[in-house]
């Protein structure tokens, strides 16, 4: 019966709507972005430590005798001490559900980071106190700016020698265009981190080191008078600098932060767990909760609408015992209930969600319900690919995720022809996850696909996974191509005859033409103005 004639149904719908809106208001979904080695994975672990969901922080570099970080689970990540694949951590803090998406720090994995940024409502921009804003940080900031994602800035590694705090504020404003509005100010210069001045109430938060930063750093809150008595001139300097900021209008304003005009700033040392608890509090109190997400036509889907989500990442090999495939979805509207049957928008086919999990690094546990803003892992999701939209009841398709223009190319060949079946399965898996773009051409045949990547380290990941996960070791023959352009079936025959070019096809049917250099491409285009060659999304993220 319709809700117009059934008071009980109308009451149920109203109750469900109220629940969805209340739960969405409790969610904070954000990513940490930074240049490599700025301390991103360390901060991720420190946040989980302060939320009391782990008892001891791991060491970022995974040296002998130390634990690896929770979010870095791949063997290559542990060996190299870098994040290669994005990870999702969900935990509760105060009365808030935090969905923290850790991202690859290395520039070679920009495409994975870009996908993760489509699933968040805010970003924490981590800056090394000694190096300031570095290239990869700026590239990722450009994505946040383009997508309208509010940014909270954290100056990390203040326990080590670094730049002047005011100088860093000038750099943030000059290079990002955002007005920095520090919520905390360091007491002590970089390398002499004693604590922070809380600019909201003028109090002093004094930190005490713990052994190796493995546990939460004890924190003591002192009045301004007590801080002056304890720290003397160091406290006076911090107060004077804070007053200078106030005189220039560098005070936090929620509306300008959410509008992408200003950025709250905090000072911290993630490895020592200094200032990390204050960051969690800022995320809870100031970061935005989920809002209606526009569909492919630009029409926002209300949070209280029936369930909808999109796949922003697919990952296999996280559970070595089962070799399963996990699709990470961002819930956009309604209530997700484990076991519900949803529809994949691209194919129109049903997908059963019997195996739905909450993800904490490599560890997982079943999840029964989820709300807008939550990240859910769907197991055995072989039918789902990156960018897929899911829904129940009213159909919706969210905007597709862009594929970046690859810059490095190599032909993949199986080392042992007896493993061809495993070879084909592995190639298909890597392509659907977006680890590499798999291209085929008439010139080479299906048995010698071309791997196309943004950065060369992606080749290493692909080789490693082909051998360890699929038992099909491969060799790679690097090609001289440097550029890729989108073309069409009418132009392909002409382009295939061009010198320094090769026409290839993606698994989704797109035709690309690869060029050895920009001069050859430009010369051909000038002589063949009717040929279609469209630029792809730049890997620079700018």
| Residue ranges making up the domain that contains 497 | 408-535
The answer to whether residues 65 and 194 belong to one domain is yes
Q: What is the predicted pLDDT for the residue at 66?
A: 34
Q: What is the predicted pLDDT for the residue at 87?
A: 63
- How crowded is the C-beta side of 115, counted as CA atoms within 13 Å? 30
Q: What is the predicted pLDDT for the residue at 314?
A: 85
Parallel, antiparallel, or unpaired: how do β-strands 534-535 and 474-478 relate? unpaired
Structurally, the chain folds into a number of domains equal to 3
CATH of the domain at 207: 3.40.50.300
Q: Is residue 366 part of a domain?
A: yes
The answer to whether residues 153 and 48 belong to one domain is yes
Is 104 a known ligand-binding residue? yes
Is residue 290 within 8 Å of 373, Cβ to Cβ? yes
The answer to whether residues 382 and 437 belong to one domain is no
Q: Is residue 134 part of a domain?
A: yes
CATH of the domain at 505: 3.30.70.3280
In this structure, the dihedral spanned by the alpha carbons of residues 451, 456, 462 and 464, taken in order and rounded to 10 degrees, is 150
* Distance, CA of 57 to CA of 276 (rounded, Å): 13
In this structure, the dihedral spanned by the alpha carbons of residues 60, 61, 65 and 71, taken in order and rounded to 10 degrees, is 40
- How crowded is the C-beta side of 244, counted as CA atoms within 13 Å? 12
Show the 3-state SS of 267-282. ECEHHHCECHHHHHHH
- How crowded is the C-beta side of 33, counted as CA atoms within 13 Å? 35
Residues 6+ apart with CB under 8 A from 442: none
CATH of the domain at 321: 2.40.30.10
| Boundary-marking domain end, from 241, 260, 286 | 286
The answer to whether residues 472 and 422 belong to one domain is yes
pLDDT along the chain (542 residues), means of 10: 51 83 97 88 83 54 36 46 56 90 69 86 97 89 90 97 97 97 97 96 91 75 96 97 95 96 97 92 96 96 97 71 75 95 94 80 77 92 88 94 84 95 92 88 89 89 90 96 95 95 92 94 95 75 39
Is 252 a known ligand-binding residue? no
The answer to whether residues 309 and 282 belong to one domain is no
Rounded to the nearest angstrom, the gap between the alpha carbon of residue 496 and the centroid of all alpha carbons in its chain is: 37
The answer to whether residues 256 and 137 belong to one domain is yes
The answer to whether residues 229 and 126 belong to one domain is yes
How far are the Cα atoms of 56, 198, 277, 486 from residue 94, in angstroms, in the given order? 20, 20, 11, 49
Is residue 175 within 8 Å of 133, Cβ to Cβ? yes
Is 50 a known ligand-binding residue? no
The answer to whether residues 202 and 162 belong to one domain is yes
The answer to whether residues 240 and 308 belong to one domain is no
DSSP annotation string for 324-364: -EEEEEEEEES-EETT-EEEETTT--EEE-SSEEEEETTEE
DSSP 301: E
- How crowded is the C-beta side of 523, counted as CA atoms within 13 Å? 10
Q: What is the predicted pLDDT for the residue at 5?
A: 53
Q: Is residue 109 part of a domain?
A: yes
The answer to whether residues 377 and 525 belong to one domain is no
Is 112 a known ligand-binding residue? no
The answer to whether residues 120 and 164 belong to one domain is yes
Q: What is the predicted pLDDT for the residue at 359?
A: 65
The answer to whether the predicted template modeling score (pTM) of the entire model surpasses 0.85 is no
Q: What is the predicted pLDDT for the residue at 459?
A: 92
* Distance, CA of 49 to CA of 42 (rounded, Å): 10
Q: Is residue 42 part of a domain?
A: yes
Is 106 a known ligand-binding residue? yes
The answer to whether residues 240 and 354 belong to one domain is no
């Amino acid at each position: 019966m319709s809700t117009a004639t059934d008071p009980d149904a109308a009451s149920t719908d109203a109750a469900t709507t109220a629940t969805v809106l209340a739960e969405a208001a409790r969610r904070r979904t954000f990513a940490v972005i930074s240049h490599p080695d700025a301390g991103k994975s360390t901060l991720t672990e420190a946040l989980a430590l302060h939320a009391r969901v782990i008892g001891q922080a791991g060491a970022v570099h995974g040296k002998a005798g130390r634990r690896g970080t929770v979010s870095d689970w791949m063997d290559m990540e542990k060996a190299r001490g870098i994040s290669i694949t994005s990870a999702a951590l969900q935990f509760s803090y105060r009365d808030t559900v935090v969905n923290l998406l850790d991202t690859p720090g290395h520039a070679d994995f920009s495409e994975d980071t870009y996908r993760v940024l489509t699933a968040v409502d805010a970003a924490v921009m981590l800056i090394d106190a000694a190096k300031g804003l570095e290239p990869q940080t700026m590239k990722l900031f450009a994505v946040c700016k383009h997508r309208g994602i509010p940014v909270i800035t954290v100056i990390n590694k203040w326990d080590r020698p670094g730049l002047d705090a005011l100088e860093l504020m000038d750099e943030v404003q000059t290079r990002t265009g955002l007005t920095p509005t520090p919520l905390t100010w360091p007491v002590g210069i970089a390398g002499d981190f004693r604590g922070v001045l809380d600019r909201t109430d003028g109090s002093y938060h004094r930190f005490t080191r713990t052994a190796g930063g493995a546990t939460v750093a004890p924190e003591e809150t002192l009045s301004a008078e007590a801080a002056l008595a304890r720290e003397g001139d160091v406290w006076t300097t911090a107060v004077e600098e804070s007053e200078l900021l106030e005189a220039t209008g560098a005070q936090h304003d929620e509306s300008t932060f959410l509008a992408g005009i200003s950025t709250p700033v905090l000072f911290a040392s993630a490895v020592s767990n200094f200032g990390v608890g204050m960051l969690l509090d800022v995320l809870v109190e100031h970061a935005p909760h989920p809002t209606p997400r526009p569909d492919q036509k630009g029409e926002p889907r209300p949070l209280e609408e029936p369930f909808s989500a999109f796949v922003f990442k697919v990952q296999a090999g996280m559970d070595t015992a089962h070799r399963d495939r996990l699709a990470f979805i961002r819930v956009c509207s309604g209530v997700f209930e484990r076991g519900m049957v949803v529809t994949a928008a691209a194919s129109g086919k049903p997908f059963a969600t019997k195996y739905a999990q909450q993800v904490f690094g490599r560890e997982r546990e079943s999840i029964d319900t989820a709300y807008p803003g939550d990240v859910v892992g769907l197991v055995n999701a072989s039918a789902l690919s990156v960018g897929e939209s899911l829904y129940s009841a009213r159909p919706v398709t969210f905007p597709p995720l862009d594929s970046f223009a690859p810059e490095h190319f190599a032909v993949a060949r199986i080392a042992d022809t007896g493993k061809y079946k495993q070879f084909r399965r592995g190639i298909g898996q890597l392509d659907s996850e977006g680890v590499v773009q798999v291209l085929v051409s008439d010139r080479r045949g299906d048995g010698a696909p071309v791997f196309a990547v943004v950065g060369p380290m992606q080749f290493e990941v692909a080789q490693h996974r082909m051998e360890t996960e699929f038992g099909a070791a491969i060799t790679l023959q690097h090609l001289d191509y440097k550029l890729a352009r989108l073309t069409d079936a009418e132009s392909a025959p002409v382009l295939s005859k061009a010198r320094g070019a090769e026409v290839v096809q993606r698994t989704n049917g797109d035709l690309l033409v690869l060029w050895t250099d920009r001069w050859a491409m430009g010369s051909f285009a000038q002589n063949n103005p009717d040929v279609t060659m469209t630029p792809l999304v730049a890997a620079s993220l700018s």
